[in-house]
Amino acid sequence: MRRFHLMLCAAVIMAAMFVLIDRESSNDTKIISKVPTTQKVVALTIDDGPHNKVTPEILAILKDKNVKATFFVLGKNVEDNPRIFAQEIADGHEVGVHTYSHSSLPKLSDKKIEEEFEKAEKVILPITAMPTLFRPPGGAFNERVIRIAKQRGYQVVLWSIDTRDWECPPEKRIIDEVYKAVKPGSIILMHDGQYPIPTPRVLGTIIDGLRERGYIFVTVSELLQYNEVGHTFRPFGSPF
């Protein structure tokens, strides 16, 4: 009898776990950091621009290498550099929202978070269609940030490889980190919002090296189509 009760309890626990897993996997408020796939595809993402010097250099490299990236832009930088932003669109790159001013959103009120979206969208929409992807500045989020982003129609995207190029480390360190960490479905984080930054000097080498390893470059939205088992999400409050 005791064994029966133990087996019954185990069955109840497992059933509860399956319900929980199902709820987690169907909850579209979660955050994408990579895509589960066996295909050797990766997404290059570039944050904080457009910058009047760095972004044109990056666009030239991407065009030469025939690679499409996803740019998470700041509204204030779009406002300052609308022609460069328009060139991103004309070159066939994907764009996502990175707020207007790069404020840490969890520190703001709901009203201020909404304003960050509204001001960014106001300068983006005259140039291109409404983006569907959003990346919180610094990867900082809480449940309020995710709720507001979802209400505005955004899918929240983080990353699985952080090059930390904004710290201006040695170029070899950036390249080696990408080669070491890359896996099918990786989302690579780079930046174009400051000068100087080593990103333009390493980007071509990273593209060539990953191609030699059999990888294909796609945008984030394209990467999501390679999902083989359901999105890999980071739950609220998890470390990056």
Q: Could you tell me the domains of the chain?
A: 30-234 (3.20.20.370)
Q: Which listed residue (47, 48, 165, 192) is catalytic? A: 47
- Please give the pLDDT value at position 69: 98
Catalytic: 47? Answer: yes
pLDDT digits (tens, 9 = 90+) for 102-121: 999 999 999 999 999 999 99
Mean pLDDT of 170-182: 98
Token pair in block for residue 146: 């995710």
Peptide bond into 196 cis (omega under 30): yes
For the chain, what is the mean pLDDT?
A: 88
- Please give the pLDDT value at position 191: 98
Residue 230's pLDDT band (cuts 50, 70, 90): low
Q: Which listed residue (51, 98, 102, 191) is catalytic? A: 191
pLDDT digits (tens, 9 = 90+) for 3-61: 434 333 443 333 333 333 332 333 344 899 999 999 999 999 999 999 999 999 999 99
pTM of this structure:
0.86
Q: Residue 13 CB: number of other CB atoms within 10 A?
A: 10
- Please give the pLDDT value at position 239: 37
- Please give the pLDDT value at position 208: 98
Catalytic: 102? Answer: no
Residue 229's pLDDT band (cuts 50, 70, 90): confident
Mean pLDDT of 119-145: 98
